[in-house]
Each structure stands twice: as structure tokens, then as C-alpha cells.
Chains A and B, each alone.
Chain A
Amino acid sequence: MEVKKTYYKKKNINKKKRDLKWLNVESIPSNLMDFLELNFKHKYILLNRMSGMTLQEVGEIEGITRERVRQIESKIISILPTFNDVEKVKRIVLDYDITEKEFTEYIRQPISLFRFIRLADKSKVDRKPFEQYLLYMNKVAPQTITKKLGERNKFINHNNDVVSLDVNSVIDEILFCNRKEYTVDKLQQDMERFFSKYDYSAEKKISNRALSGRLSKRENVIHSVKGKFRYYKYDVEELMEYVTNLNDLFNVSDGIYGIRYFFELDPDLMRLLDIKNEAELANVLKKIGYKYFGRLNDIVRQSQVYIGNIQNDKKSKDKFYKDILLQFDGEPLKVVVNYLYNNFYLHKGSTLAYLSKKFASFIYEKNIVLNVPLPQNADFYIKAMKVVCEPIYNFEQVKKKLNKINQNVILSPQLIDRLGYYDRGNTIIKKKYSNQDEAFRALWLVNDYIFTDSIKDFHSRSADFKAYQFELSHDLIRIDYNRYMTIKKFEKSGFVKNDILAFIDEVVSFSKSDMFYTWQYLLNQGFTSGFVEETCFDSLFYERLIFTSPLVRTIQANSYIFINTDNCDVENPTLIKFIEYELGTNPKDIDDFIDELNLKYGLVITKSKVIEKLKQSSYVYSSEMRKVYPNKQMMYQEIYKI
């Protein structure tokens, strides 16, 4: 096998000797200042370059070309070792935007060090303001810095960083420090006051209009109604982590909804995302970008939300309202308005006005009169009966199927009846089934597998709930991330429901003495079961079966954490309770703890999540020690040895 030498280059022991000879010195001292005392070769090239002369100027003095000067300079620098005195100040000179004068004044070291470092450093990096250094090191009084900074159009912000005194930074600063709702006028006042501290008001005037423009582009600003806005703690990148949760909101039937519908759908999520009202929700969605939400098409005026097949155009809108009117043929308009409010959160007044105006021809004495004609040809019904034959559908599914036969057909209550179905809100059910439960049974439980997607396609909470109930009764068994196996297939493979119950009993009795456990934990503890050996599924299968037990509660992390209700005094334990329990009463290294959760339970919980959760408890975290302590006293003991 041929071995490439790509990484390490061998040092030549004689190189050092040759270098000394080239410099014409016997040895190189450990400090630059001592070295500069020596009479080494090309000394004046180095000194002149350090003094700020250009390559050209030095070349003219020495009578050599510019390029030669450059070569000699870089050779000297490459030969020289790391000098102790240079090392001491190198970070400051390289990291901060510092002048020679400031270097002498504050650092109080020979200027040659400064010049040498700047000469040797060819990188063109953005340096931090020098004031930042002074601030960190407590070299000068803060008010002096503030004053000096003001002269240079800079100030110290809430994060103790030196930033430039411009409109954007000041907006951020004011909103961050005042966590309340602002209007543009109010912000103008506060900004004026802020700038006046730095004698700066004159140039920094900005029109209300321009200020609004800036605000719409700031990351950490959220708008609500009537031009109000406030500081918002999430930026877009953080929000992206919640796209899946937000997407779940839109798993509802196609249609036009009032934004409040979604705001009220998941109060926990709204709290988590610090969204205070529906207008803020609309703005958060806009900030992330509608394209990340498959079923969300548009939000109009922070209020009307277009979902699924319903786009924000005249045709879609007409279709949406007309389909609904069809369901209420012969009934009072008021009933439709109430229906739209109850099911879609559409504002009653504006809906009434809109329908009365746009659909005036269908409204007679405040009643809906459509008299939709049924298709007349028998051929249509033969074809329709062939494609519409399952026990239960949602409206959209049936419409799609029928429109393939006849583009103009309208799904009226009469037609539904004629096809042998009846209407149950969002779904239509075959007449031979007396309710949704029977219909879903007949639809799902006759096959071997059911895909979770086909359940989601109903866009109906009752379908989701039905599937959940079937899972609890073990008529459906979750086998992987996108499929259920039906009890029918399970029985065909030689098992019965009682095998599942026996398995759950085994788990419950094995974990009697544990408060929390996971599937991984059970296996680590030596849990074995004939059922597992015979079925050999992935862990999700067993986790979901344990999940169906009424004796067990569940916390969802990357895998399921189960709680033995017999051993837990808290009604609904949360992840923080689990973390506290696991941390116990001794200080723990955070990385050890994360590893322990992984090894013992198979859980992947990030450090930042653990630290975030601990803020709700009495545990304290020291970032310097990278340790978690049960309480402050224990932290003091370790750090201050008291």
C-alpha cells in the first residue's frame, strides 16, 4: 500500500543553524526587545518597515527592489521564534482596533512590540473597538468610555458590546430594554431622548415612514395591530425549529379561516413561542415565510387565512362560499353566517355583508335558495357509484372524484343522498353505517396496513381522534413512523390482542420500582419478553404499545419517557421533573449527565435544553464549571471551599 505524505513535513534539524547563520547572530533571545538590541543582518530593513515605511521606500534606501525587501522581511519574520514579550500583547493588538497612541497610553509597553505584531500580521480582519477591551478589562471608568464612545458615534449596549450609534442599534437597544408595546411615535420620543445623551439629535432624525420601514426589517421585532410592536425574543432561525409544530395547525379542511382559529387551536404552542395575540401569529408566520407551510396559501390583512385548495383569488373564494351555501340550501342566511363563525372563526358582520353582496342572486328573503339541478344522465351515476364507494370520505375527496367524471357537477345535499351517503359536518358517510365509528372501522380495519398520511388526508380532528382510539384499543398497532398494522393482519401473523395486553403487563410489573423509564432503559435493565423475540419490530412499536396502557403516563422527548403512575406523586409530570429526578442530590458534570441520559435511557436531550429547563427548578448551572448543582449552597462549597 502506498502511503501519501500529505500531512506532516519533517523538520530539518540543521535548519535552525542555517537560520542563525543567515541572520548573523549566535542565538535569538526570548524577547523581541532584546533581539532588536542585537546587530543582526538586515536589521534596518526590519526597523524601517516597522516604522511604517513602504516596501518602495525601504528599497530605495537599501538600493534593492521592492520585491526583495518583501522577501527579506518575510524571511526574518518566519525565522523569529514566538517572543515572550510579543505574546503578551499580541491578542490585544490583533483583536482590537487600537492606535499606537492608545497602545502606549493604556498598555504601557514598548511601541516596537505593537509595530512588529502589526507588520507580521497580514490578515485583514475586522477588529473590535478598542473601547470594548477597556470595558472588559476595567481599565478606565465606564463614564469616560461612554463619553469617548459618543464622540466616535458608538455606545455600549445591553449586551455590554460596543456598537455604532445608528438608528438600527438604537431601536434594538430601546426595544430590548423596554419590554412593552410601542408605537412609532412613542419610539421616536425614546430615540430622541437616547440620542440627546450623545448630543446627536440633529442628524439622526428619521421620518415615521422610514422608521416603520426599518422596523419591518428588524429581526427581533414583532408587530401586532394598530401599528403596535414590541421586542420579540425569537429570530427567524430559532422559529424555524418550530415549523413542524406550526404546520400541524394547518391540518384542517381546505377553506378560509379567521386567524384567531389557529391562535386558539394550540394555546401551549402560542405561549411557548411568546405569541400574545392572533395578529402576532400572522406576523410570525409571515416572518418565517408562507412557503414553509404546505397548506397555508396566504394571510390577508393579518386576519383571513387561506388553506389547502383555497387560494386568495376570486375563483377559489367563490368556490369556498358556494360549496358551503350548497350545504344550506333552503335555510336562513343567518345559519350559514353562524356556521362560518363557529367552524372557521370568520367574522359574522363582514361575512354577512360579503355573502349578501356577492351571492345576492341565491338569497331570497334572507333564505338561501339554490335548487341545484342533479345530473340527468344515468351514465354519470353508474360511473360515480364506481369511484365513490368507500364507507366514509371528506367533501374534498368526493368532489375531486366526481369532477373527474363531470367537471361541472356540484356536490349538493341531494346528490350526496342520491349516491347513498349522508352528510356529517366535514365528512360524508355511507348510509349503511350509522355513525363515524362504524364507517372508520369499515374503512380502516379491513386492510393489512393504514398509512398515517391517509388519516391526515381527512384533515379532520375526528379522523385523528378515531385513529387514536383504535390505537388505544389495539385495533391499530403503530409499526413505524408512517404506518399502522391492523389487528386483522396481526392476527393473520399468529398473534391475538391478549398477547399485547400480556406484554404490557410484563412491562408494568418489570418497571414496578421505577418512577421513570424508557424502552431503552428496560432493555438495559435486562427486560426480555417472548413477545418481543417473536415480533422483532423497531423500538417505536413497543413504545407505542406501552403508551396505550392506562397505568402509564408519557412525556415525549426524542423517544418516549414513561412514568409509573403508582410511584409518582405529581399528577402530570413534565420533562423538568424527570431531569430533576435523574440529577439527584449531587453535583453533576453537564456533559456526563447528557451522556448518562443517552446511555441509560437512549435519550438525546441537548445541553441547552437541559440548562433551559433547569431555570424552572432550584438547580443551578455554572457555565464556568460546566456543572449542575442541586442548589446554590453546593455550588459555593465547591468553588469557594466553604
Chain B
Amino acid sequence: MIKESDFELTEETKNLTIKGALKLFAVVKIPLEKLKYNRQNGRIATWISEYENEILPEETEKFNEVVEGFIKNSNPESLKKTKANIERFGQMEPAVVLENGILVDGNRRFTALRQLKREGKGAEFNYIKAVILSDSYSTKEIKTLELNLQHAKEERVDYNPIDRLVDIYRDLLSPGAEFSPAEYAREVDEKESKVRDNMSVAQLMIDYLDYIQHPNMFYIARQQKLDGPLREISKILKSKKIDPYDYNDAKDILFASLATVKGDATRKIRDMRSVIENPRQLHSVSNKLDQTMDDLEEYFSDDSARSKEQFEISEKDSEKTQNNTDRYTVQVPQDIVDRVNETVETEIDNSKLKKAEKAPLKALSKCVNYLHEADPQALGYISEKSEKDKDDIFSLLNELKKGIKEIEDEL
């Protein structure tokens, strides 16, 4: 709990939109030790999911230490920058905290200040500038504010897409979800259709983690950069060309491919679209992979064969992820990987090319279909009535003739 005697008023103010209205808040200086990171925050929740079987310390400072580690690892470069900037220019943007000391907005600024304080860079770094929200606001109102802040233009840039999906899962899909898609769309200033798209991607992420038997362990999704490929899968599964009967097969094949793919997963999944949309090819893949899919499933559900280590990333590797775009794949036995890849790749054939070849023919046929709409008798009436229309008709006919001649000349 932050008491009035704990903080000091500054001359600054900050506008926040809360309960649907813009309100001016006084900015105060609060000693850093009064604050605690927010474990509900999407970014932090992703990291906490890694901790699932270990107990996070209750005591504020111990808890903050653990989360500080998460934040540092999640983007060391960015933290370094914030820190240098604050050291030079001071804290420019106030944070937002609740009366109970939980930080709603400003995780990175708080972390930077904690470090500057520890390093003894000056007394001005013992405090954070923030506005305090009274506990009269409901959790939903505070969550709404948090959404507004996170999705404001300046923050959109460096919010990890998986963290965003976790947020969407928590706010819209999970049993405790408090928002409707329409409300959410309004708060983050996006189209509702886009929010719904993101919901289906978030649901696929949940399904996929279930499929690889690591339910709710979002950090895997994050390490493997699943947002791109999952987005592609979502697009493919929405295709009207997939028979409802085949839907689950299609989903299984896509998930199996995602679990076994090497290299650019997004591209691979994208290329599979034509295969999945073609019932003949889909059935062929599904039949050929029947046994392999069973093996894969067995492998995932076998606790003894799968140790936790295969998903873990060492400290050193985690730094590497910042600098290159390599994905970390789930360690599936090589023979399964080979079988899935060979089968799928043979089906991604030149069907694309065949479609492209026939495109102009299709256009021509449409054109002829449409020509029959131009009723000659009616055109006769029109041209009698107006000279201008008559001219128009002739110029259109000329163009038509020109077009036909061009085609004939080519043949």
C-alpha cells in the first residue's frame, strides 16, 4: 500500500483515459521500493509461464528481482537504451501505478531506475515519477487503461507478437475473460474483424501448445516465434475450400508440419495452402502420414522420452535470439521430421503454375459470358434516343473489335 507520506508531489501532470473519459492526474515521486511488478501483464505472464512448476517468491523484493531478470532477458538492448536515456535526460514519461503499489505501465522505466539506483548513479534515481490510481477503479477499468497505454502508437513498435496473443487469450478467450471483441477493438483502436482474426490465432496457439503437450507454456511459442506460422495456419483454415469433414485433418497436418519444420516456418506453411485446399492432395497427405502422425502424438505424450531440457534455452542462446532470426524447433526425432517433410514437399508441386497458365482463358470466358448481357435490341433503342450514347456504343464496339483482333493476331 502506498501511503500519502510515501510520495512527493511534482509540478507535472498526465492525461489518462479512464472510464471512457480523459482525466488529468497529478504526477508524484514514489520511492522505488514501494512498487511491485504486475504479474498479469502479458509480457511478464509469458515469462512466468516458464516458471509454472516453480513457486515465485511472494516477498516483494524477491519477486521483483525475478521479474527484473525476465525483463532484462526479454530485450537487453532495449533496456540498456532506456537506462542510458534516463540517466542522461531523466525520466520523461510518468509510469502508472495502483494504490497497492502494483505497476500498471512502465515496467522498463522501473527496471532501468532500479538498476541506476543500485549502481549509485544519483539520488534522483531512487524515485519513479508516476500517477497513482485509486482502488475505486475495477480490474476491468484498469485493464482497459492498460490496453490503451500499450496500444498507443509509441508502444506498438516493440511489443512481442506472442505477448500480444497471450493478452488476447487472457482478455477475450480464457475462462476469466472480461472483454467482448467489440469492446476490445474499441480500446485498442483496431477493427473488430482484426481482433477476431487475432482471437483465432490466439486460439490456435493454445491448441498447438496442447498438441505438443505443453499447455499454456507460452514461452515456447515465444522462443519458436510461432506468431507468423500460426497466422498463416489461421488464414488457411479459414479457407472455404476446405471441407468441414477435412478440417481436423488439415489442422493436424499443419500442426505436425509446424512441429517438424526447419528454417522459415511461415513460408513453408504458406506454401502448403494449395495442398490443404485441394481435397485430393489433402487426403493423399493424410493417408500417407497416418502412421507418422500417430508416432508424433505418441512421442509428445510420452513423458519419459521428453525431458524439459529439449525446450529450454541457455542464457547464451537467448542472447543469440536477439541477433538472428533462427527458430528453435521442438526436438522431434529425425525420422519423423523426415517423413513429414518429404510427404508434404512432394505435394507442394507445380499446381500454382497450372492455375497461372489458364488464367487468361478464364478471363476470356468471363468476358464472353458478360457480353451476352449487352442486349442488342436495347442498344438499338438507346442509340436512336441519343446521339451521344450512340457514339459511346460505337467507341466501345471499336475497342471490343480491337481486343478481338489483338487476340486473333496472336493465335
A275 within 8 A of B: no
**Residue interface bits B67-103, CB-to-A below 8 A is 1, else 0:** 0000000000000111011001100110000000000
With A3-B213, A11-B294, A493-B89 already in contact, the answer to whether A481 and B152 are too (CB < 8 A) is yes
A639 touches B369 (CB 8 A): no
Judge whether A534 and B303 touch: CB under 8 Å. Answer: no
Q: Does A138 contact B (CB under 8 A)?
A: yes
Q: Residue A240 contacts which of B89, B154, B191, B368 (CB distance < 8 angstroms)? A: B191
Cross-chain contact A156 with B82 (CB below 8 angstroms): no
Determine if A138 and B152 form an interchain contact, defined as CB atoms under 8 angstroms apart. Answer: no
Comparing A31-39, A310-318, A535-543, the segment that makes contact with chain B is A535-543
Q: In whole Å, how far is B154's beta carbon from the nearest beta carbon of chain A?
A: 5
Is A420 interfacial (CB-CB < 8 Å)?
A: no
Tell me if B153 is interfacial: C-beta within 8 Å of chain A: yes
Q: Please name the residue on chain B nearest to A90 by beta carbon.
A: B243
Q: Does B3 contact A (CB under 8 A)?
A: no
Could you tell me the distance between the alpha carbons of A537 and B157 in the complex, rounded to whole angstroms?
14
With contacts A3-B303, A91-B243, A535-B85 taken as known, whether A158 is within 8 angstroms of B372 at the C-beta atoms is no
Contact pick for B369, options A156, A534, A537, A538, CB 8 Å: A156
Q: Which of B211-259 contact A (CB under 8 A)?
A: 211, 213, 215, 243-245, 252
Residues on A with C-beta less than 8 A from B53 are 1
**Is B279 on the interface with A (CB-CB < 8 A)?**
yes
Dominant SS at the B interface?
helix
Q: Knowing A197-B378, A639-B353 touch, does A6 contact B210 (C-beta < 8 A)?
A: yes
Interface segment, B31-39, B141-149, B313-321, B355-363? B355-363
Residues from chain B with a CB closer than 8 A to the CB of A91 are 243, 279
Q: Which residues of B in the span 366-405 have a Cβ within 8 Å of any Cβ on A?
A: 366, 368-370, 372-373, 375, 378, 381
Q: B270 interface residue, CB < 8 Å from A? A: yes
Q: Are B369 and A135 neighbours in the complex by a CB distance under 8 Å?
A: yes
A160 x B370 contact (CB < 8 A): yes
B286: nearest chain-A partner, CB-CB? A82
Q: Which of B15, B81, B243, B359 contacts A94 (CB 8 A)?
A: B243
Q: How far is the CB of B53 from chain A (nearest CB, A)?
A: 5
| B-chain residues with CB within 8 Å of residue A193 when the two chains form the complex | 378, 381
Query: How many chain B residues have a CB neighbour from A under 8 Å?
Result: 52
Q: Tally of A-B residue pairs with Cβ under 8 A?
A: 103
Known contacts A160-B369, A639-B356, A449 near B303 by CB under 8 Å: no
Residue in contact with A158 in the complex, picked from B80, B294, B368, B370, CB distance below 8 Å: B370
- A625: contacting residue among B153, B279, B353, CB under 8 A: B353
Nearest-neighbor residue (CB-CB) of A451 within chain B: B15
A536 touches B301 (CB 8 A): no
**Interface presence of B23 (CB below 8 A):** no
Residue ID in chain A nearest B273 by CB atoms: A626
Rounded to whole Å, the gap between the CB of B324 and the closest CB of chain A is 12
Tell me the bound Cα distance from A6 to B353 in angstroms.
Answer: 40
Tell which of B89, B369, B378 touches A142, judged by Cβ atoms closer than 8 Å. Answer: B369
In the bound assembly, the distance between CA atoms of A533 and B88 in angstroms comes to: 11
Assess A640 versus B357: contact at CB under 8 Å? Given A5-B301, A534-B88, A538-B154. Answer: yes
* A157 and chain B: residue at smallest CB distance: B373
Which of B89, B279, B357 has the largest number of chain A CB atoms within 10 A? B89
Evaluate contact between B283 and A1: CB separation under 8 angstroms.
no
Tell me if B297 and A10 are in contact (CB < 8 A). yes
Q: Is residue B347 contacting chain A, with contact meaning CB distance below 8 A? A: no
Residues of A within 8 A of B303 (CB): 3
Let me know if B365 is at the binding interface, CB within 8 A: yes
Q: Does A106 contact B (CB under 8 A)?
A: no
- Name the interface residues of A171-190: CB closer than 8 Å to any CB of B: none
**Interface flag for A226 (CB, 8 Å):** no
Whether A142 lies near B368 (C-beta < 8 A) is yes
Q: Which parts of A131-161 form the interface with B (CB within 8 Å)?
A: 135, 138, 142-143, 146, 156, 158, 160
B52: Cβ under 8 A from any A Cβ: yes
Kindly state whether residue A87 has any CB partner on chain B within 8 Å: yes
**Residue in B closest to A624 when the chains form the complex, CB atoms:** B356
Given known contacts A4-B210, A4-B215, A142-B369, A197 and B283 CB-to-CB distance under 8 angstroms: no
> Interface code A174-215, partner B: CB below 8 Å = 1, 0 otherwise?
000000000000000000010001000000000000000000
Q: Does B207 contact A (CB under 8 A)?
A: yes
Tell whether A509 is near chain B: CB-to-CB under 8 Å: no
A158 nearest CB neighbor, chain B only: B370
Q: Which residues of chain B from 48 to 76 have any CB-CB distance to chain A below 8 Å in the complex?
A: 52-53
Contact status B370-A624, CB under 8 Å: no
Measured CA separation A82–B290 after assembly (Å): 14
A479 CB within 8 Å of chain B: yes
Contact A197-B369, Cβ < 8 Å, known A536-B82, A625-B353: no
Q: B337: shortest Cβ distance to chain A, in Å?
A: 18
- Is A97 interfacial (CB 8 A cutoff)? no
Distance in angstroms from A637 CB to nearest chain B CB is 12
A142, B82: Cβ atoms under 8 Å? no
Residues B356 and A449 in contact, CB atoms below 8 Å apart: no
Contacts of B365 in A (CB 8 A): 138
Q: Which of A71-117 contact B (CB under 8 A)?
A: 82, 87, 90-91, 94
Residues on A with beta carbons closer than 8 Å to the beta carbon of B154: 480-482, 538, 540
Min C-beta distance of B407 to chain A, whole Å? 15
Residue A168 interfacial (CB < 8 Å): no
1/0 per position for A600-632, CB-CB distance to B under 8 A? Answer: 000000000000000000000010111000000
Q: Bound complex: CA of A94 vs CA of B279, how far in Å?
A: 14
* CA A625 to CA B294, docked complex, whole Å: 35
Q: How far is the CA of A123 from the CA of B301 in the complex (A)?
A: 34
User: With a CB–CB cut-off of 8 A, which chain A residues contact B283?
Assistant: 82, 87
A67 to chain B, nearest CB (A): 24
Question: What 7 additional pairs, Cβ within 8 angstroms, besides A90-B279, A197-B378, A481-B153?
Answer: A6-B210, A7-B207, A158-B370, A193-B381, A533-B84, A535-B88, A640-B357
**8 nearest A-B pairs in the assembled complex, by CB-CB distance:** A624-B356, A536-B84, A536-B85, A142-B369, A624-B355, A536-B81, A7-B210, A8-B297
Can you show 12 pairs from A to B with CB atoms below 8 A apart?
A1-B52, A3-B301, A3-B303, A8-B252, A123-B244, A138-B365, A143-B372, A197-B375, A480-B93, A537-B85, A538-B154, A640-B357
| B binding-site residues for A, Cβ under 8 Å | 15, 52-53, 80-82, 84-85, 88-89, 92-93, 152-154, 157, 191, 207, 210-211, 213, 215, 243-245, 252, 267, 270, 279-280, 283, 294, 297, 301, 303, 308, 352-353, 355-357, 359, 365-366, 368-370, 372-373, 375, 378, 381
